Amino acid sequence: MTVEQADQLFREIALLTVQLNRISTGYEFKIAELKAAAGRETEPLAAELKKREQELTGYILANPERFIKPRQHVTEYGKYGLRQVAGLEITDEEAVKASVRLQNIPALLVVEKLDRKALEKAISEGVMLDGCEMRRGEIASYTVAKALLE
């Protein structure tokens, strides 16, 4: 391949990249518009739903004797009533963490993550590590001009 042919090939790559970027950006914009329209359309419904849920919850909690047996009132649309639950509700995560630390309760999880810089340093110092290696050398690369992508 000559330099001119390589330049032509790169030109084709750049134009395809620009075309892909333009299409993708167009769809991302349309998706954002659709989400905004959906939000505008569903917001009043969600507010009304929340209001009605609060009314029904108020009725159920004000009349627990109506939900002894059966615990749920069945209708053609579903059921509502009381049910037994047992579950943890965390209202202030930071307060819970502080309390757990203070009382030395083993309830905090530590997530392991590899420190790439420490691995690179260890390998450069001659440590043999399974599953990773330092790669050196040249790789082929290209960069499409930012002005074309905008």
φ and ψ of 101, to 5 deg: -65, -45
Cα angle vertex 112, ends 126, 96, to 5°?
Answer: 150
Average pLDDT, the chain: 94
Q: d(Cα 142, Cα 10) in Å, to the nearest integer?
A: 8
Query: What 8-state DSSP symbol labels residue 75?
Result: E
pLDDT exceeds cutoff 90 at 147? no
**pLDDT tens-digit series, residues 59-95:** 999 999 999 999 999 999 999 999 988 889 999 999 9
Cα angle vertex 101, ends 95, 103, to 5°?
Answer: 100
Q: Give me 49's structure tokens.
A: 């739903």
Q: What is the pLDDT of residue 131?
A: 94
pLDDT exceeds cutoff 90 at 150? no
Provide the whole-model pTM. Answer: 0.55
